[in-house]
Structure 1
Amino acid sequence: MKWSDFSKLIKFRLTFLVVFSASISFLIGSKVNGIIDWSNWGMLIAGGFLVTGAANIFNEIIEKDLDKLMKRTMDRPIPSGKMTTGQALVIGLFMGIFGTYLLGKLNLTTGYLSVFSIMLYAFAYTPLKRKSPIAVFVGAIPGAFPTLIGYVAAHPQIDEIALVLFGIQFVWQFPHFWAIAWVLDDDYKLAGFRLLPTGSRNRTSAVFALIFTLILLPVSLLPTFMGFGGYVVGGVSAVMSLIFLYQAFSLVRTLEIKSAKQLMYGSFFYLPIVQMVLLFNFIGKN
Protein backbone atom coordinates (compact mmCIF):
# COMPACT_ATOMS: atom_id res chain seq x y z
CA MET A 1 0.00 0.00 0.00
CA LYS A 2 1.34 3.42 -0.96
CA TRP A 3 1.83 6.12 1.68
CA SER A 4 -0.58 8.38 -0.20
CA ASP A 5 -3.33 5.76 0.12
CA PHE A 6 -2.61 5.16 3.81
CA SER A 7 -2.58 8.92 4.39
CA LYS A 8 -6.04 9.22 2.85
CA LEU A 9 -7.29 6.19 4.77
CA ILE A 10 -6.41 7.67 8.16
CA LYS A 11 -7.10 11.29 7.08
CA PHE A 12 -3.53 12.24 7.94
CA ARG A 13 -3.98 16.01 8.18
CA LEU A 14 -6.96 15.65 10.52
CA THR A 15 -5.09 13.04 12.55
CA PHE A 16 -2.07 15.34 12.79
CA LEU A 17 -4.19 18.23 14.08
CA VAL A 18 -5.84 15.99 16.69
CA VAL A 19 -2.47 14.69 17.92
CA PHE A 20 -1.07 18.23 17.97
CA SER A 21 -3.95 19.39 20.18
CA ALA A 22 -3.52 16.42 22.53
CA SER A 23 0.25 16.94 22.78
CA ILE A 24 -0.16 20.62 23.69
CA SER A 25 -2.65 19.67 26.41
CA PHE A 26 -0.24 17.00 27.65
CA LEU A 27 2.54 19.56 28.00
CA ILE A 28 0.19 21.93 29.85
CA GLY A 29 -0.83 19.12 32.19
CA SER A 30 2.83 18.23 32.68
CA LYS A 31 3.68 21.80 33.68
CA VAL A 32 0.80 21.70 36.19
CA ASN A 33 2.48 18.61 37.65
CA GLY A 34 5.84 20.36 37.51
CA ILE A 35 7.70 17.89 35.30
CA ILE A 36 7.50 16.70 31.69
CA ASP A 37 7.92 12.97 31.10
CA TRP A 38 9.07 12.94 27.48
CA SER A 39 8.71 9.17 27.15
CA ASN A 40 5.04 9.49 28.11
CA TRP A 41 4.71 12.37 25.65
CA GLY A 42 6.00 10.10 22.89
CA MET A 43 3.61 7.36 23.98
CA LEU A 44 0.71 9.83 23.87
CA ILE A 45 1.65 10.92 20.34
CA ALA A 46 1.94 7.32 19.11
CA GLY A 47 -1.23 6.17 20.88
CA GLY A 48 -3.17 9.26 19.86
CA PHE A 49 -2.10 8.85 16.23
CA LEU A 50 -3.18 5.21 16.19
CA VAL A 51 -6.52 5.79 17.93
CA THR A 52 -7.42 8.80 15.77
CA GLY A 53 -6.41 6.98 12.62
CA ALA A 54 -8.54 3.99 13.66
CA ALA A 55 -11.60 6.18 14.25
CA ASN A 56 -11.14 7.72 10.79
CA ILE A 57 -10.80 4.28 9.20
CA PHE A 58 -14.03 3.07 10.83
CA ASN A 59 -15.68 6.26 9.60
CA GLU A 60 -14.55 5.53 6.03
CA ILE A 61 -15.67 1.91 6.21
CA ILE A 62 -19.16 2.98 7.25
CA GLU A 63 -19.29 5.70 4.58
CA LYS A 64 -17.58 3.77 1.76
CA ASP A 65 -20.62 3.88 -0.53
CA LEU A 66 -21.22 7.56 0.22
CA ASP A 67 -17.58 8.44 -0.41
CA LYS A 68 -18.02 7.19 -3.99
CA LEU A 69 -20.56 9.95 -4.56
CA MET A 70 -18.42 12.91 -3.51
CA LYS A 71 -15.61 14.38 -5.59
CA ARG A 72 -13.34 15.05 -2.60
CA THR A 73 -13.59 11.47 -1.26
CA MET A 74 -14.03 9.20 -4.28
CA ASP A 75 -10.25 8.67 -4.56
CA ARG A 76 -9.92 7.30 -1.02
CA PRO A 77 -8.58 3.71 -0.92
CA ILE A 78 -11.88 1.93 -0.19
CA PRO A 79 -14.26 3.68 -2.62
CA SER A 80 -11.58 3.72 -5.34
CA GLY A 81 -11.09 -0.05 -4.99
CA LYS A 82 -7.44 0.16 -3.93
CA MET A 83 -8.30 -1.52 -0.63
CA THR A 84 -11.05 -3.87 0.48
CA THR A 85 -13.29 -3.20 3.45
CA GLY A 86 -11.81 -6.26 5.17
CA GLN A 87 -8.25 -4.98 4.79
CA ALA A 88 -9.24 -1.57 6.14
CA LEU A 89 -11.05 -3.20 9.08
CA VAL A 90 -7.98 -5.23 10.04
CA ILE A 91 -5.78 -2.12 9.93
CA GLY A 92 -8.35 -0.10 11.89
CA LEU A 93 -8.76 -2.75 14.59
CA PHE A 94 -5.00 -3.14 14.96
CA MET A 95 -4.47 0.60 15.24
CA GLY A 96 -7.41 1.04 17.63
CA ILE A 97 -6.40 -1.80 19.96
CA PHE A 98 -2.69 -0.97 20.03
CA GLY A 99 -3.34 2.75 20.36
CA THR A 100 -5.76 2.22 23.24
CA TYR A 101 -3.21 -0.06 24.89
CA LEU A 102 -0.54 2.64 24.71
CA LEU A 103 -2.87 5.33 26.06
CA GLY A 104 -4.14 2.97 28.75
CA LYS A 105 -0.55 2.41 29.89
CA LEU A 106 -0.37 6.12 30.70
CA ASN A 107 -3.42 5.73 32.95
CA LEU A 108 -6.80 4.05 32.76
CA THR A 109 -8.76 7.31 32.39
CA THR A 110 -6.82 8.16 29.24
CA GLY A 111 -7.57 4.70 27.85
CA TYR A 112 -11.29 4.93 28.64
CA LEU A 113 -11.55 8.38 27.07
CA SER A 114 -9.87 7.14 23.89
CA VAL A 115 -12.29 4.21 23.55
CA PHE A 116 -15.28 6.49 24.16
CA SER A 117 -13.93 8.94 21.59
CA ILE A 118 -13.69 6.24 18.90
CA MET A 119 -17.19 4.94 19.64
CA LEU A 120 -18.80 8.37 19.65
CA TYR A 121 -17.07 9.54 16.46
CA ALA A 122 -17.45 6.39 14.37
CA PHE A 123 -20.78 5.02 15.56
CA ALA A 124 -22.77 8.10 16.65
CA TYR A 125 -21.49 11.11 14.71
CA THR A 126 -20.94 9.24 11.44
CA PRO A 127 -24.49 7.87 10.94
CA LEU A 128 -26.05 11.10 12.23
CA LYS A 129 -24.47 13.14 9.42
CA ARG A 130 -27.22 12.04 7.02
CA LYS A 131 -30.05 12.43 9.51
CA SER A 132 -29.76 15.77 11.29
CA PRO A 133 -27.55 18.84 11.78
CA ILE A 134 -27.37 17.72 15.44
CA ALA A 135 -24.49 15.57 14.16
CA VAL A 136 -22.24 18.62 14.47
CA PHE A 137 -23.00 18.85 18.21
CA VAL A 138 -22.35 15.13 18.67
CA GLY A 139 -19.16 15.29 16.63
CA ALA A 140 -17.88 18.27 18.60
CA ILE A 141 -17.65 16.09 21.73
CA PRO A 142 -15.09 13.54 20.45
CA GLY A 143 -13.57 16.42 18.47
CA ALA A 144 -12.72 18.16 21.74
CA PHE A 145 -11.67 14.98 23.56
CA PRO A 146 -8.00 15.26 22.49
CA THR A 147 -7.58 18.10 24.99
CA LEU A 148 -8.92 15.92 27.81
CA ILE A 149 -6.97 12.86 26.69
CA GLY A 150 -3.72 14.81 26.44
CA TYR A 151 -4.16 16.64 29.73
CA VAL A 152 -5.25 13.56 31.71
CA ALA A 153 -2.36 11.57 30.25
CA ALA A 154 0.00 13.93 32.10
CA HIS A 155 -2.18 14.97 35.02
CA PRO A 156 -4.65 12.13 35.80
CA GLN A 157 -7.43 14.38 37.00
CA ILE A 158 -10.11 16.27 35.07
CA ASP A 159 -9.77 19.63 36.81
CA GLU A 160 -10.85 23.16 35.84
CA ILE A 161 -7.92 23.61 33.46
CA ALA A 162 -8.84 20.41 31.60
CA LEU A 163 -12.47 21.51 31.35
CA VAL A 164 -11.52 24.96 30.03
CA LEU A 165 -9.23 23.41 27.38
CA PHE A 166 -12.09 21.11 26.41
CA GLY A 167 -14.58 24.00 26.37
CA ILE A 168 -12.49 26.17 24.06
CA GLN A 169 -12.02 23.39 21.53
CA PHE A 170 -15.67 22.28 21.84
CA VAL A 171 -17.13 25.72 21.07
CA TRP A 172 -14.52 26.41 18.37
CA GLN A 173 -15.67 23.38 16.41
CA PHE A 174 -19.11 24.80 15.57
CA PRO A 175 -17.96 27.70 13.37
CA HIS A 176 -15.13 25.45 12.15
CA PHE A 177 -17.51 22.64 11.10
CA TRP A 178 -20.09 24.97 9.63
CA ALA A 179 -17.54 26.92 7.60
CA ILE A 180 -16.30 23.66 6.07
CA ALA A 181 -19.88 22.48 5.53
CA TRP A 182 -20.70 25.77 3.78
CA VAL A 183 -17.75 25.46 1.41
CA LEU A 184 -18.45 21.77 0.66
CA ASP A 185 -22.25 21.89 0.80
CA ASP A 186 -22.73 20.93 -2.87
CA ASP A 187 -20.47 17.90 -2.47
CA TYR A 188 -22.01 16.93 0.87
CA LYS A 189 -25.50 16.99 -0.60
CA LEU A 190 -24.47 14.34 -3.14
CA ALA A 191 -24.06 11.98 -0.17
CA GLY A 192 -27.08 13.31 1.71
CA PHE A 193 -25.07 14.90 4.53
CA ARG A 194 -26.92 17.51 6.55
CA LEU A 195 -24.37 19.52 8.49
CA LEU A 196 -25.40 23.17 8.12
CA PRO A 197 -27.80 24.27 10.89
CA THR A 198 -30.73 24.71 8.50
CA GLY A 199 -29.48 22.29 5.86
CA SER A 200 -28.80 25.14 3.42
CA ARG A 201 -26.45 28.04 2.75
CA ASN A 202 -28.68 30.79 4.11
CA ARG A 203 -28.49 33.64 6.58
CA THR A 204 -29.87 31.57 9.47
CA SER A 205 -27.03 29.05 9.11
CA ALA A 206 -24.54 31.91 8.99
CA VAL A 207 -26.05 33.47 12.12
CA PHE A 208 -25.59 30.18 13.98
CA ALA A 209 -21.90 30.29 13.11
CA LEU A 210 -21.74 33.91 14.26
CA ILE A 211 -23.43 33.10 17.58
CA PHE A 212 -20.98 30.34 18.44
CA THR A 213 -18.04 32.50 17.40
CA LEU A 214 -19.40 35.14 19.77
CA ILE A 215 -19.70 32.54 22.57
CA LEU A 216 -16.09 31.57 21.92
CA LEU A 217 -14.88 35.05 22.93
CA PRO A 218 -15.72 34.80 26.68
CA VAL A 219 -14.88 31.08 26.72
CA SER A 220 -11.40 31.81 25.37
CA LEU A 221 -10.90 34.36 28.15
CA LEU A 222 -11.69 31.85 30.92
CA PRO A 223 -7.98 31.00 31.51
CA THR A 224 -7.34 34.67 32.35
CA PHE A 225 -10.54 35.10 34.40
CA MET A 226 -9.80 31.92 36.36
CA GLY A 227 -6.26 32.97 37.16
CA PHE A 228 -4.15 30.43 35.28
CA GLY A 229 -3.87 32.18 31.92
CA GLY A 230 -2.33 35.59 32.45
CA TYR A 231 -2.96 38.84 30.58
CA VAL A 232 -0.92 37.89 27.51
CA VAL A 233 -3.07 34.80 27.04
CA GLY A 234 -6.18 36.92 27.49
CA GLY A 235 -4.97 39.55 25.02
CA VAL A 236 -4.01 37.09 22.30
CA SER A 237 -7.22 35.09 22.80
CA ALA A 238 -9.31 38.25 22.60
CA VAL A 239 -7.61 39.41 19.39
CA MET A 240 -7.93 36.00 17.75
CA SER A 241 -11.57 35.74 18.82
CA LEU A 242 -12.39 39.19 17.44
CA ILE A 243 -10.77 38.31 14.10
CA PHE A 244 -12.75 35.07 14.07
CA LEU A 245 -15.90 36.98 14.97
CA TYR A 246 -15.34 39.46 12.14
CA GLN A 247 -14.93 36.60 9.66
CA ALA A 248 -18.21 35.06 10.87
CA PHE A 249 -19.94 38.44 10.56
CA SER A 250 -18.65 38.73 6.99
CA LEU A 251 -20.32 35.41 6.20
CA VAL A 252 -23.61 36.66 7.64
CA ARG A 253 -23.31 39.82 5.56
CA THR A 254 -22.29 38.29 2.23
CA LEU A 255 -23.42 34.64 2.37
CA GLU A 256 -20.60 33.91 -0.07
CA ILE A 257 -18.43 30.80 -0.29
CA LYS A 258 -15.40 33.11 -0.29
CA SER A 259 -16.38 34.39 3.17
CA ALA A 260 -16.94 30.84 4.39
CA LYS A 261 -13.43 29.92 3.20
CA GLN A 262 -11.99 32.86 5.14
CA LEU A 263 -13.83 31.67 8.25
CA MET A 264 -12.57 28.13 7.65
CA TYR A 265 -8.95 29.28 7.25
CA GLY A 266 -9.38 31.51 10.30
CA SER A 267 -10.40 28.46 12.33
CA PHE A 268 -7.22 26.65 11.26
CA PHE A 269 -5.12 29.47 12.72
CA TYR A 270 -7.26 30.23 15.77
CA LEU A 271 -6.97 27.03 17.79
CA PRO A 272 -3.21 26.29 17.56
CA ILE A 273 -2.32 29.92 18.29
CA VAL A 274 -4.54 30.10 21.40
CA GLN A 275 -3.30 26.72 22.63
CA MET A 276 0.36 27.55 22.03
CA VAL A 277 0.10 30.88 23.85
CA LEU A 278 -1.49 29.12 26.82
CA LEU A 279 1.31 26.53 26.79
CA PHE A 280 4.01 29.24 26.69
CA ASN A 281 2.26 30.90 29.62
CA PHE A 282 2.64 27.73 31.72
CA ILE A 283 6.25 27.27 30.59
CA GLY A 284 7.01 30.88 31.53
CA LYS A 285 5.81 30.31 35.10
CA ASN A 286 8.57 27.82 35.78
Structure 2
Amino acid sequence: MASTQAHTSSPSLVKNFTEITKIRLSVSVVFSSIAGYLLGAETIDFMVLLLLCVGGYCMVGASNVYNQVMEKDLDKLMDRTKDRPIPAGRMGVTSAMITAVVLTVIGIGTLYTINPQTAMFGAISIFMYVFLYTPLKTKTPLSVFVGAFPGAIPFMLGWVAATNDFGIEPGTLFMIQFFWQFPHFWAIGWFLFKDYQKGGFAMLPNGRRDKGTAVQVILYSIWTVLASLVPAFGVTGRLYLTPFSAVLIGGIGIWLVYYAVRLYKLKTDKAAKQLMLVSVSYITLLQIIYVADKFIR
Protein backbone atom coordinates (compact mmCIF):
# COMPACT_ATOMS: atom_id res chain seq x y z
CA MET A 1 0.00 0.00 0.00
CA ALA A 2 2.79 2.41 1.00
CA SER A 3 4.79 1.63 -2.14
CA THR A 4 1.70 2.33 -4.27
CA GLN A 5 1.21 5.72 -2.60
CA ALA A 6 4.88 6.59 -3.14
CA HIS A 7 4.60 5.54 -6.76
CA THR A 8 1.54 7.71 -7.39
CA SER A 9 2.70 10.73 -5.39
CA SER A 10 6.07 11.04 -7.14
CA PRO A 11 4.63 11.89 -10.59
CA SER A 12 2.19 14.34 -8.96
CA LEU A 13 5.08 16.12 -7.22
CA VAL A 14 6.87 16.47 -10.55
CA LYS A 15 3.65 17.65 -12.20
CA ASN A 16 3.05 20.23 -9.47
CA PHE A 17 6.63 21.48 -9.72
CA THR A 18 6.55 21.83 -13.51
CA GLU A 19 3.16 23.56 -13.35
CA ILE A 20 3.93 26.00 -10.55
CA THR A 21 7.27 26.98 -12.12
CA LYS A 22 5.55 27.25 -15.54
CA ILE A 23 8.00 24.93 -17.28
CA ARG A 24 7.25 26.08 -20.86
CA LEU A 25 7.73 29.74 -19.99
CA SER A 26 10.83 29.00 -17.92
CA VAL A 27 12.41 26.93 -20.69
CA SER A 28 11.73 29.70 -23.24
CA VAL A 29 13.43 32.19 -20.91
CA VAL A 30 16.42 29.85 -20.52
CA PHE A 31 16.55 29.60 -24.33
CA SER A 32 16.81 33.41 -24.52
CA SER A 33 19.63 33.39 -21.96
CA ILE A 34 21.51 30.71 -23.90
CA ALA A 35 21.18 32.77 -27.09
CA GLY A 36 22.54 35.82 -25.28
CA TYR A 37 25.44 33.79 -23.90
CA LEU A 38 26.36 32.37 -27.31
CA LEU A 39 26.32 35.89 -28.76
CA GLY A 40 28.61 37.24 -26.05
CA ALA A 41 31.02 34.35 -25.55
CA GLU A 42 34.35 34.35 -27.40
CA THR A 43 34.87 30.74 -26.36
CA ILE A 44 32.01 28.59 -25.11
CA ASP A 45 32.37 27.35 -21.52
CA PHE A 46 29.85 24.53 -21.13
CA MET A 47 30.03 24.66 -17.34
CA VAL A 48 29.01 28.34 -17.39
CA LEU A 49 26.27 27.44 -19.88
CA LEU A 50 24.99 24.73 -17.52
CA LEU A 51 25.07 27.12 -14.55
CA LEU A 52 23.19 29.70 -16.60
CA CYS A 53 20.49 27.16 -17.47
CA VAL A 54 20.08 26.03 -13.86
CA GLY A 55 20.23 29.54 -12.42
CA GLY A 56 17.97 30.94 -15.13
CA TYR A 57 15.31 28.26 -14.62
CA CYS A 58 15.37 28.72 -10.85
CA MET A 59 15.15 32.51 -11.23
CA VAL A 60 12.07 32.38 -13.49
CA GLY A 61 10.57 29.48 -11.58
CA ALA A 62 10.85 31.36 -8.27
CA SER A 63 9.18 34.43 -9.79
CA ASN A 64 6.31 32.30 -11.06
CA VAL A 65 5.80 30.57 -7.71
CA TYR A 66 5.77 33.87 -5.77
CA ASN A 67 3.31 35.21 -8.34
CA GLN A 68 0.95 32.26 -7.87
CA VAL A 69 1.11 32.52 -4.08
CA MET A 70 0.18 36.20 -4.27
CA GLU A 71 -2.60 35.62 -6.80
CA LYS A 72 -3.98 32.36 -5.39
CA ASP A 73 -7.45 33.80 -4.69
CA LEU A 74 -7.66 35.51 -8.08
CA ASP A 75 -6.47 32.36 -9.88
CA LYS A 76 -9.55 30.54 -8.57
CA LEU A 77 -11.76 32.96 -10.50
CA MET A 78 -10.21 32.45 -13.95
CA ASP A 79 -10.66 29.45 -16.23
CA ARG A 80 -7.05 29.43 -17.42
CA THR A 81 -5.61 29.44 -13.89
CA LYS A 82 -8.14 27.68 -11.64
CA ASP A 83 -6.43 24.29 -12.11
CA ARG A 84 -3.01 25.55 -11.02
CA PRO A 85 -1.56 23.60 -8.04
CA ILE A 86 -2.49 26.13 -5.31
CA PRO A 87 -6.09 27.06 -6.29
CA ALA A 88 -6.78 23.42 -7.17
CA GLY A 89 -5.61 22.36 -3.70
CA ARG A 90 -2.76 20.14 -4.91
CA MET A 91 -0.14 22.30 -3.18
CA GLY A 92 -0.32 24.35 0.00
CA VAL A 93 0.84 27.95 0.30
CA THR A 94 3.59 26.98 2.78
CA SER A 95 4.98 24.32 0.42
CA ALA A 96 4.85 26.81 -2.45
CA MET A 97 6.68 29.49 -0.46
CA ILE A 98 9.38 27.02 0.60
CA THR A 99 9.77 26.04 -3.07
CA ALA A 100 10.03 29.70 -4.10
CA VAL A 101 12.63 30.55 -1.44
CA VAL A 102 14.74 27.48 -2.27
CA LEU A 103 14.60 28.30 -5.99
CA THR A 104 15.58 31.92 -5.24
CA VAL A 105 18.60 30.88 -3.18
CA ILE A 106 19.73 28.27 -5.72
CA GLY A 107 19.06 30.60 -8.66
CA ILE A 108 20.88 33.67 -7.33
CA GLY A 109 23.67 31.53 -5.86
CA THR A 110 24.21 29.68 -9.14
CA LEU A 111 24.23 32.90 -11.15
CA TYR A 112 26.68 34.42 -8.63
CA THR A 113 29.16 31.61 -9.33
CA ILE A 114 29.17 32.80 -12.95
CA ASN A 115 29.78 36.43 -11.95
CA PRO A 116 28.23 38.95 -9.52
CA GLN A 117 26.66 41.08 -12.28
CA THR A 118 24.67 38.13 -13.59
CA ALA A 119 23.37 37.42 -10.06
CA MET A 120 22.50 41.10 -9.60
CA PHE A 121 20.39 41.22 -12.76
CA GLY A 122 18.74 37.93 -11.78
CA ALA A 123 17.82 39.37 -8.38
CA ILE A 124 16.50 42.58 -9.98
CA SER A 125 14.36 40.46 -12.30
CA ILE A 126 12.76 38.54 -9.42
CA PHE A 127 12.22 41.72 -7.39
CA MET A 128 10.56 43.64 -10.24
CA TYR A 129 8.36 40.72 -11.27
CA VAL A 130 7.17 39.88 -7.75
CA PHE A 131 7.00 43.22 -5.96
CA LEU A 132 6.18 45.62 -8.80
CA TYR A 133 4.59 43.82 -11.77
CA THR A 134 2.41 41.35 -9.84
CA PRO A 135 0.70 43.88 -7.51
CA LEU A 136 0.18 46.35 -10.38
CA LYS A 137 -1.67 43.86 -12.60
CA THR A 138 -4.97 44.55 -10.84
CA LYS A 139 -4.34 48.29 -10.53
CA THR A 140 -3.20 49.69 -13.89
CA PRO A 141 -2.46 48.70 -17.51
CA LEU A 142 1.04 50.18 -16.87
CA SER A 143 1.78 46.82 -15.24
CA VAL A 144 2.72 45.54 -18.72
CA PHE A 145 5.31 48.34 -19.02
CA VAL A 146 6.76 47.49 -15.60
CA GLY A 147 6.67 43.76 -16.36
CA ALA A 148 8.53 44.33 -19.63
CA PHE A 149 11.70 45.14 -17.63
CA PRO A 150 12.14 41.76 -15.91
CA GLY A 151 10.79 40.11 -19.06
CA ALA A 152 13.56 41.67 -21.15
CA ILE A 153 16.43 40.74 -18.81
CA PRO A 154 17.05 37.07 -19.84
CA PHE A 155 18.36 37.81 -23.37
CA MET A 156 20.92 40.32 -22.05
CA LEU A 157 21.61 38.16 -18.97
CA GLY A 158 23.30 35.57 -21.18
CA TRP A 159 25.66 38.19 -22.61
CA VAL A 160 26.53 39.46 -19.13
CA ALA A 161 27.16 35.87 -18.02
CA ALA A 162 29.58 35.43 -20.93
CA THR A 163 31.43 38.73 -20.57
CA ASN A 164 30.89 40.00 -16.98
CA ASP A 165 30.19 43.34 -18.61
CA PHE A 166 27.12 45.46 -19.28
CA GLY A 167 27.44 47.74 -22.29
CA ILE A 168 25.85 48.61 -25.62
CA GLU A 169 25.58 44.95 -26.71
CA PRO A 170 23.48 43.56 -23.83
CA GLY A 171 21.64 46.90 -23.74
CA THR A 172 20.57 46.31 -27.35
CA LEU A 173 19.46 42.75 -26.59
CA PHE A 174 17.45 44.15 -23.67
CA MET A 175 15.85 46.79 -25.91
CA ILE A 176 14.76 44.21 -28.50
CA GLN A 177 13.06 41.95 -25.97
CA PHE A 178 11.64 44.94 -24.07
CA PHE A 179 9.70 46.27 -27.09
CA TRP A 180 8.67 42.72 -28.04
CA GLN A 181 6.85 42.24 -24.71
CA PHE A 182 4.10 44.73 -25.65
CA PRO A 183 2.55 43.17 -28.79
CA HIS A 184 3.04 39.74 -27.22
CA PHE A 185 1.27 40.44 -23.92
CA TRP A 186 -1.37 42.74 -25.36
CA ALA A 187 -2.29 39.96 -27.80
CA ILE A 188 -2.69 37.60 -24.81
CA GLY A 189 -4.62 40.30 -22.93
CA TRP A 190 -6.93 40.64 -25.94
CA PHE A 191 -7.99 37.02 -26.42
CA LEU A 192 -8.12 36.34 -22.67
CA PHE A 193 -9.86 39.64 -21.97
CA LYS A 194 -13.02 38.17 -20.37
CA ASP A 195 -11.05 35.71 -18.27
CA TYR A 196 -8.72 38.49 -17.04
CA GLN A 197 -11.81 40.54 -16.16
CA LYS A 198 -12.96 37.78 -13.80
CA GLY A 199 -9.69 38.18 -11.88
CA GLY A 200 -9.76 41.97 -12.05
CA PHE A 201 -6.61 42.25 -14.18
CA ALA A 202 -6.07 45.35 -16.30
CA MET A 203 -3.76 44.21 -19.13
CA LEU A 204 -4.72 46.22 -22.23
CA PRO A 205 -3.28 49.75 -22.60
CA ASN A 206 -6.64 51.53 -22.56
CA GLY A 207 -8.64 48.72 -20.97
CA ARG A 208 -10.60 47.94 -24.15
CA ARG A 209 -10.34 45.71 -27.21
CA ASP A 210 -10.60 48.58 -29.68
CA LYS A 211 -8.70 50.52 -32.35
CA GLY A 212 -6.68 52.42 -29.74
CA THR A 213 -5.22 49.21 -28.33
CA ALA A 214 -4.69 47.75 -31.81
CA VAL A 215 -2.81 50.88 -32.96
CA GLN A 216 -0.44 50.59 -29.99
CA VAL A 217 0.11 46.91 -30.81
CA ILE A 218 1.15 47.93 -34.36
CA LEU A 219 3.46 50.70 -33.12
CA TYR A 220 5.28 48.47 -30.64
CA SER A 221 5.57 45.72 -33.26
CA ILE A 222 7.27 48.20 -35.60
CA TRP A 223 9.60 49.39 -32.81
CA THR A 224 10.46 45.77 -32.05
CA VAL A 225 11.50 45.19 -35.65
CA LEU A 226 13.47 48.46 -35.84
CA ALA A 227 15.31 47.64 -32.60
CA SER A 228 16.07 44.18 -33.98
CA LEU A 229 17.76 45.72 -37.04
CA VAL A 230 20.00 48.18 -35.16
CA PRO A 231 22.99 45.75 -34.98
CA ALA A 232 23.08 45.66 -38.80
CA PHE A 233 24.37 49.26 -38.80
CA GLY A 234 27.57 48.51 -36.90
CA VAL A 235 26.78 50.80 -33.96
CA THR A 236 26.42 48.14 -31.27
CA GLY A 237 30.01 47.08 -30.59
CA ARG A 238 30.64 43.34 -30.88
CA LEU A 239 26.96 42.67 -31.51
CA TYR A 240 26.76 42.76 -35.29
CA LEU A 241 24.34 41.50 -37.93
CA THR A 242 25.35 40.81 -41.54
CA PRO A 243 23.20 42.26 -44.37
CA PHE A 244 21.86 38.79 -45.25
CA SER A 245 20.69 38.16 -41.68
CA ALA A 246 19.28 41.70 -41.52
CA VAL A 247 17.10 40.84 -44.54
CA LEU A 248 15.91 37.69 -42.74
CA ILE A 249 15.11 39.71 -39.61
CA GLY A 250 13.31 42.26 -41.77
CA GLY A 251 11.30 39.44 -43.36
CA ILE A 252 10.08 37.97 -40.08
CA GLY A 253 9.52 41.56 -38.91
CA ILE A 254 7.12 42.17 -41.80
CA TRP A 255 5.39 38.92 -40.79
CA LEU A 256 4.98 40.21 -37.21
CA VAL A 257 3.70 43.64 -38.28
CA TYR A 258 1.30 42.01 -40.78
CA TYR A 259 -0.42 40.09 -37.98
CA ALA A 260 -0.50 43.22 -35.80
CA VAL A 261 -2.26 45.08 -38.64
CA ARG A 262 -4.55 42.10 -39.07
CA LEU A 263 -5.61 42.43 -35.44
CA TYR A 264 -6.37 46.12 -36.10
CA LYS A 265 -8.58 45.19 -39.05
CA LEU A 266 -10.40 42.18 -37.59
CA LYS A 267 -10.37 42.89 -33.82
CA THR A 268 -11.14 39.25 -33.07
CA ASP A 269 -9.87 36.86 -30.40
CA LYS A 270 -8.65 34.54 -33.17
CA ALA A 271 -6.54 37.31 -34.74
CA ALA A 272 -5.09 38.14 -31.31
CA LYS A 273 -4.20 34.50 -30.66
CA GLN A 274 -2.52 34.27 -34.07
CA LEU A 275 -0.50 37.40 -33.30
CA MET A 276 0.59 35.88 -29.98
CA LEU A 277 1.80 32.72 -31.73
CA VAL A 278 3.58 34.76 -34.41
CA SER A 279 5.25 36.92 -31.73
CA VAL A 280 6.63 33.80 -29.99
CA SER A 281 7.89 32.49 -33.34
CA TYR A 282 9.41 35.91 -34.10
CA ILE A 283 11.54 36.17 -30.95
CA THR A 284 12.64 32.52 -31.24
CA LEU A 285 13.63 32.85 -34.91
CA LEU A 286 15.34 36.18 -34.21
CA GLN A 287 17.55 34.61 -31.54
CA ILE A 288 18.37 31.66 -33.81
CA ILE A 289 19.26 34.01 -36.70
CA TYR A 290 21.44 36.21 -34.45
CA VAL A 291 23.38 33.20 -33.12
CA ALA A 292 23.68 31.52 -36.52
CA ASP A 293 24.88 34.80 -38.05
CA LYS A 294 27.71 35.04 -35.51
CA PHE A 295 28.97 31.50 -36.00
CA ILE A 296 28.50 31.21 -39.79
CA ARG A 297 30.00 34.51 -40.95
Task: State the TM-score, normalizing by the size of structure 2.
Answer: 0.93
CA shift, 1:214, in A, is 1.4
Structure 1, unmatched stretches of 5+, are: none
CA shift, 1:258, in A, is 1.2
CA shift, 1:150, in A, is 1.1
- State the AA in 2 paired with 1:256: T
CA shift, 1:149, in A, is 1.4
The number of residue pairs the alignment matches comes to 282
Q: Does 1:27 align with 2:44?
A: no
Structure-2 residue corresponding to 1:264:
276
Q: Does 1:206 align with 2:206?
A: no
1: distance between equivalents of 2:251 and 2:141? 30
Map 1:1-286 to 2 at 5 A. Answer: 1-30=12-41, 34-226=42-234, 228-285=240-297
2: distance between equivalents of 1:79 and 1:111? 31
CA shift, 1:105, in A, is 0.6
Q: Which moved more, 1:237-246 or 1:2-11?
A: 2-11
Q: Deviations over 1:238-263 (max 9, x none)?
A: 01111110100011111111111111
2: distance between equivalents of 1:226 and 1:124? 35
Q: Which moved more, 1:3-12 or 1:82-91?
A: 3-12
SS at 1:70 equivalent? coil
Structure 2, unmatched stretches of 5+, are: 1-11
CA shift, 1:8, in A, is 1.3
Q: Deviations over 1:103-134 (max 9, x none)?
A: 01100000111111000001100010001110
Contact 1:233 1:278 in 2 (8 A): yes
Contact 1:224 1:231 in 2 (8 A): yes
Contact 2:55 2:107 in 1 (8 A): yes
Structure-1 residue corresponding to 2:5:
none
Aligned-residue RMSD, C-alpha: 1.0
- State the AA in 1 paired with 2:248: V
Contact 2:60 2:126 in 1 (8 A): yes
Contact 1:11 1:56 in 2 (8 A): yes
1: distance between equivalents of 2:126 and 2:259? 32
Structure-1 residue corresponding to 2:7:
none
- State the AA in 1 paired with 2:257: L
2: distance between equivalents of 1:56 and 1:38? 27
CA shift, 1:5, in A, is 1.8
CA shift, 1:233, in A, is 2.0
SS at 2:87 equivalent? coil
Structure-1 residue corresponding to 2:4:
none
SS at 2:29 equivalent? helix
Please tell me whether Structure 1 or Structure 2 has the larger radius of gyration of its CA atoms. Answer: 2
CA shift, 1:91, in A, is 0.6
1: distance between equivalents of 2:270 and 2:106? 42
2: distance between equivalents of 1:2 and 1:39? 28
CA shift, 1:2, in A, is 3.0
Contact 2:37 2:159 in 1 (8 A): yes
2: distance between equivalents of 1:187 and 1:8? 19
| Runs ≥4 residues deviating over 3 A | none
- State the AA in 1 paired with 2:269: I
SS at 2:201 equivalent? coil
Contact 1:171 1:212 in 2 (8 A): yes
2: distance between equivalents of 1:20 and 1:168? 15
- State the AA in 1 paired with 2:92: T
- State the AA in 1 paired with 2:261: F
- State the AA in 2 paired with 1:21: S
2: distance between equivalents of 1:218 and 1:7? 35
Contact 1:233 1:274 in 2 (8 A): no
2: distance between equivalents of 1:83 and 1:274? 37
CA shift, 1:46, in A, is 0.6
Task: State the TM-score, normalizing by the size of structure 1.
Answer: 0.97
